Structure 1
Amino acid sequence: MKTKKDYSERTDIEKIQSNWTKINGLFSREEWSSAILRASTAVEISANYVVRQELELKRNLEPEFVNHLLKWANGVQGKFDKLLVPIFKGSEFQKELKKLNKKVRDINKERNLIAHSGQFKKKSTAKRIIEESEIVINTLIKKYDNDFKLKKQNGKR
């Protein structure tokens, strides 16, 4: 019998995939607001992955320091503005990040309206946020893993 790996022991990629599976389940159950929260979480984890790839693996910074930076940056928008954009300043990838920033702002705005104001969202908003999240996640992760694909789901969007 296959046992599930504890969430805290999963890699960032495994966390993204498990959140993506959850997103699709929530969407199929018409839990629009919860699907948006999970989509935002998956985007934030993908930002964490990129930061770790660059700072820990390429620049040999200590994982504890990188984790401190990730907590300090707080949230997906903070990670884009305070970490990703400065890390990639002057690079070709910075241009990709600038293209993604409008989507990240939209994802973060809708997430905050749910988390901080208690708003309920419609199917159309959830669909838009999930689609934007998929673009952001794929763009970020494919910088390091060309074979990465979010698992396709049966849920109709």
Structure 2
Amino acid sequence: MGNAQPRDYNDRSDIEKILSQWKKLDGLLSRRDWSAAVVRAATATELTLNYAIRHEFRTRSQLDAAFVDSLLKWANGLAGKLDKLLLPLLMGLPRQPAVAALSGLAREINDRRNSIVHRGEFTDEAPAHQIIQSCRQFVEGVVNQYDPAFSLPALGGGARTRPPVIQP
């Protein structure tokens, strides 16, 4: 009856987590919080790698889910998950070239995220929109290898909304 509580974040699928991050980032854009929006978009990008890695292990091995989760922690971050897990898992498979072609975006996203999170830098509007577009391209490009119908929701007016000008 509309009173359903959302599932706990930890109980959501990787795709549900990606979509949650994307929704949150739209709200951050509406508040003009460019740096936080970039971090959310980068988080959605890393969750995309979790999704692809889990899919590969689930369909090609009988490894325990807890072991796969430990590998994801070991790989630690966007670059580690891409270079240490996903690209080696895809070696020789038809989806490898498409994912490898997106690796430059992943490195750009990772560098920008790290400059915000680890060095305390801020991001202005134009660079934020550019990196968020790179995140969209990466997320959709990877997830579409497994689910061709997947697409991220369009960002609402938040991406273009300016606060009202208050006249004295």
TM-score, normalised via structure 2 length: 0.89
Is 1:73 equivalent to 2:75 in the alignment?
yes
2:159 is aligned to 156
Structure (1 or 2) with the greater helix fraction = 1
The answer for unaligned runs of 5 or more in structure 1 is: none
Q: CA deviation at 1:98?
A: 2.0
Question: 5 Å matches for 1:1-157?
Answer: 1-154=3-156, 155-157=158-160
Q: CA deviation at 1:95?
A: 1.1
| Percent identical residues | 41
8 Å CA contact retained: 1:56, 1:66:
no
Aligned residues: 157
Give RMSD over aligned pairs.
1.2
Aligned mates of 1:15, 1:57 — CA distance in 2: 21
Q: Tell which structure's C-alpha radius of gyration is larger.
A: 2
Q: CA deviation at 1:89?
A: 1.1
Aligned mates of 1:59, 1:36 — CA distance in 2: 34
The alignment partner of 2:155 has SS state of: coil
Q: CA deviation at 1:92?
A: 2.8
AA aligned to 2:43 is T
Q: CA deviation at 1:140?
A: 1.2
Q: CA deviation at 1:90?
A: 2.2
8 Å CA contact retained: 1:12, 1:46:
yes
Aligned mates of 2:151, 2:93 — CA distance in 1: 24
The alignment partner of 1:120 has SS state of: coil
Which contiguous aligned blocks of 4+ residues in structure 1 show a shift greater than 3 angstroms?
none
Aligned mates of 2:11, 2:41 — CA distance in 1: 21
Of 53-62 and 15-24, more deviation after overlay is shown by 53-62
Q: CA deviation at 1:64?
A: 1.2
AA aligned to 1:123 is E
Q: CA deviation at 1:139?
A: 1.2
8 Å CA contact retained: 1:138, 1:149:
yes
TM-score, normalised via structure 1 length: 0.95
